Amino acid sequence: MGVPECCISLGLLRNGIPVYGFIYDYGRDNLLQGGKSFGSIEGTQMVTASNNLVNEKLTFCMHFPIPPSALSSLSTALGTWRIRCPGSAAVGLANVATGRLDGCLEFRAKPWDCAAGYPICEGAGANFHFLYSPLFPLRTFSPSMKSCPFRVGSELFHKEVINALGIQF
């Protein structure tokens, strides 16, 4: 018997920007929905992203492999953080929105992996940032689209990731 870390995700975009999302979490048999202007709801309960550590260590999700340059930058921090690898980026985003994880750092995600979770996380109070160039507004769509690396989570999560990756603003 395995761990059912899979979901169905659907993002509603207006002018190429996700405004509302639905994530049906198969493992929890639960529907998560929301958007920045609406708040986020899991089942029938409003949810909020975590502002404090969810465990004694920074706990977030990330899928492998990651680019060698990022692995090199993150190598020291990876020994002190707790990393979870759920079945999909959308499940990871659901866990951030509901406060079960401090954040999510993805290097391989595609637009369809985050179109639902983006507004849900924003509705729950998590901050969503693309690592390189913004994906939204989305003007074209193709199954062969490139990855859109992102980070989403609490201020503490962003601070730790920015420090580890050496991101300058």
- One-letter amino acid at 17 equals I
Length of the chain (residues)? 169
Does CATH place domain 7-165 in 3.40.190.80? yes
pLDDT value at residue 98: 96
CB 51 within 8 A of CB 126: no
- For strands 103-106 and 150-153, give the pairing: antiparallel
pLDDT tens-digit series, residues 130-154? 998 899 999 998 999 999 999 999 9
pLDDT tens-digit series, residues 99-134? 999 999 999 999 999 999 999 999 999 999 999 889
pLDDT tens-digit series, residues 35-47? 999 999 999 999 9
pTM: 0.92
Domain ranges of the chain: 7-165
In the numeric block, the tokens 């190598």 are attached to: 75
Strand order in the sheet with 59-61: 82-84, 59-61, 103-106, 150-153, 127-130
